[in-house]
Amino acid sequence: MLSLKEFLDAYQMTDFGVLTETRAFLNADDYSILVTSDFEEDDEEDVESRLANGRWIEFPNRHDLDLGKRLALRFADEYLDDAGYDRVCDFFSRSGAYGRYKDFLEDRGLLQKWYEYSELAEVNALRWWLEENKIPYKDDVDLK
């Protein structure tokens, strides 16, 4: 059975940056996880060979799970007044939004709350994705 914690850890490895192409795959037969990265210069033939055997499903990304801009706007709607919400909407109308957004939340003492909100949304979205793909998992994620 798949460990949700291991799945979350691998998902977060694929979501950490834009300088490298990091991808993760789940084998639906034995629940093994394969993470590849151009940064580590994986042996492409080895990766292709592993992916040719079994039923591999590529991990979702934050856009697939609706964890990008919409999540930030939902948080703003729940925790900020109308003027604050409008300001956040303005941040997301141009590049560099997340930096300004986090600075804005920090100034209001809400940055830690955002991290907790975002983490819970991420874990719930991954649970949903696993259930949609009929992947049994052990729910061993402990959110504080």
- DSSP line for 52-82: HSS-EEEPP-TTTTT-SHHHHHHHHHHHS-H
Structural domain contains residue 31: yes
Expressed as residue numbers, the domain containing 25 is 2-60
pLDDT in tens, 3-59: 999 999 999 888 765 546 788 999 999 999 998 876 555 567 777 888 888 899 999
Q: Do residues 94 and 82 make contact, with C-beta atoms less than 8 angstroms apart?
A: no
DSSP 109: T
The per-residue pLDDT for 45 is 73
Q: How many CA atoms lie within 13 A of 131 on its CB side?
A: 7
Q: Cα angle at 101 between 18 and 15, to 5 degrees?
A: 25
Structural domain contains residue 108: no
Stretch 118-141: mean pLDDT, rounded? Answer: 96
Structural domain contains residue 35: yes
DSSP 60: P
Stretch 49-77: mean pLDDT, rounded? Answer: 92
Structural domain contains residue 80: no
Structural domain contains residue 78: no
Structural domain contains residue 22: yes
Q: How many domains does the chain have?
A: 1
The per-residue pLDDT for 124 is 97
The per-residue pLDDT for 5 is 96
Structural domain contains residue 40: yes
Structural domain contains residue 128: no
The per-residue pLDDT for 56 is 95
| Average predicted confidence (pLDDT) for the chain | 90
DSSP E strands, the chain? 2-3, 22-27, 33-37, 56-58, 137-138
